[in-house]
Amino acid sequence: MSRADAGNPGDQGIASQLKDKAAELKDKAAEMASNARDVGAQVRDAATEHYQAARDAASEYYQAGKDKAAQWEEGIEEYVRQQPVKALVIAAGVGVLLGIIWKRL
């Protein structure tokens, strides 16, 4: 009978230690995978928060610009109603200047 067939007790101890180490490594790998998922979720949540904040800020700027344009429009309409001849002369002058500029280009 050879040594391998005899079932050396030392070999069984090493095999048992290897199995224990493999199980320990498997547990560590599972823990690392769980940690990676948690970090990924945190990054995703932070990115979502930043996106939402940027979106809200852009919406506020858009609304502010829209309101300002509406105010200018109302102001111009009021000016034209109060001084129609002066507004017409200004508009004609701007039109002539733009025509000259475009003709030279």
Mean pLDDT, to the nearest integer, of 35-62? 95
pLDDT digits (tens, 9 = 90+) for 5-40: 455 666 788 988 999 999 999 999 999 999 999 999
Report the alpha-carbon distance of residue 42 to residue 40 in Å, rounded. 5
Question: Are the C-beta atoms of 87 and 79 separated by less than 8 Å?
Answer: yes
**Backbone dihedral angles phi then psi of residue 65, each to the nearest 5 degrees:** -65, -40
Mean pLDDT value across the chain: 90
Q: Which two tokens stand for residue 39?
A: 């970090």
**Residue of 48, 70, 52, 72 whose CA lies nearest to 60:** 52
For residue 89, give the nearest of 78, 100, 80 by alpha carbon. Answer: 80
